[in-house]
Amino acid sequence: MSISAIGGGLPPLSGVGQSASIAGPKTQMSSPKTAFEDQLSSMMQGVDQAQHNGDVALQDLAAGDAGIHETMLALTQADITLQAASTARNKVVSAYETIMNMAI
* Structural domain boundaries, residue 64: 31-103
Q: What is the pTM of this model?
A: 0.62
The answer as to whether 76 is a domain residue is: yes
The answer as to whether 22 is a domain residue is: no
CA distance 30 to 58: 40
The answer as to whether 48 is a domain residue is: yes
CA distance 10 to 17: 18
* Nearest one of 37, 42, 56, 38 to 85, comparing CA atoms: 42
pLDDT of residue 21: 44
pLDDT digits (tens, 9 = 90+) for 2-59: 444 444 555 554 544 444 444 444 555 667 777 888 988 999 999 999 999 999 999 9
The answer as to whether 10 is a domain residue is: no
Length of the chain measured in residues: 104
The answer as to whether 36 is a domain residue is: yes
Residues 54/77, Cβ–Cβ less than 8 Å: yes
The answer as to whether 25 is a domain residue is: no
The answer as to whether 97 is a domain residue is: yes
